[in-house]
Amino acid sequence: MISVFINVGAVLLGGTVGLFFNRSFPQHIADTVMKGLALCVLYIGISGALEGNYILVTILSVALGGALGEWLDLDGKLNRLGQKLEQQFGGKENAAEGRPRKSLAEGFVSASMLFCVGAMAIVGSLQSGLVGDHSTIIAKSLIDGIAAVLLASSLGAGVLFSAGAVLLYQGSIVLLAETLEPLLDAVTVAEMSCAGSLLIVGLALNMLDLTHLKVTNYIPAVFLPMLFCRFFA
């Protein structure tokens, strides 16, 4: 689990640095940074989506995953959690600077998707759990730390709470590595990354205010390729 703790620490450190910049930047600069970051997120999502080779697996995963997430109301549950966190930890408007209130849920979802979706999180966690090789997760930690600075500077304190998602998601894979290994071959990981990357594209469109997708409701789509790849890949 040492690699997971390093990753969590990198997110917390980067998010804390980003919060400092969040308070220092004028609002128009913060908005420009946010849009630029959204374009980078869009690029990441498109690049990852091209890793998939089985379009039927992707279609089934996203369609049925979205239906399952809507039925479970994942987006509503997360937003209610975000509202509770805001009541406890702030996110209040700074009237003197005219800054809008930042949604903890928005920052949490955006950061969690970036940090948890992708091949590095899955493969790196498997390597840590199976053979004690932490190099992939350590490299990912550096990337996540830098991303946390940028995200927190635009989205605020919600990014810090994504460290909990990293701990839960990657920690679970590390601890269950021997059990999950037969299900996570190279093809399945690629299809999971493809489905997850489409969610990142949706996240980027939301960040650009082009859409208002309930991205959280599509999270089950990331895991369904473990089932569908048994039949269609």
Residues of the chain with confidence (pLDDT) below 70: 25, 30, 82, 86, 89-103, 118-119, 233
Structure tokens at 120: 């590095």
Q: Which pLDDT belongs to residue 69?
A: 92
Question: Cα-flanking dihedrals φ and ψ of residue 99, to 5°?
Answer: -80, 135
Contact (CB, 8 A) for 107 and 149: no
Q: What is the DSSP string of 153-204?
A: HHH-THHHHHHHHHHHHHHHHHHTHHHHGGG--HHHHHHHHHHHHHHHHHHH
Q: How much is the pLDDT for 98?
A: 46
pLDDT of res. 21: 78
In a 13 Å sphere around the CA of 126, the CA atoms on its Cβ side amount to 15
Tell me the C-alpha distance between 62 and 55, whole Å.
11
pLDDT at position 102 is: 54
Q: Where are the domains of the chain?
A: 2-232
Q: For position 66, what pLDDT does the model report?
A: 93
67-96: string of b/e by CB count within 10 Å (b at 16+)? ebbeeeebbeebbeebeebbeeeebeeeee
What residues pair up with 176 in beta bridges, in sequence order? none
pLDDT at residue number 125 = 81
| Nearest to 190, CA basis, from 64, 59, 54 | 54
Q: CA 203 to CA 214: how far, in whole Å?
A: 9
What pLDDT, on the 0 to 100 scale, is given for residue 99? 46
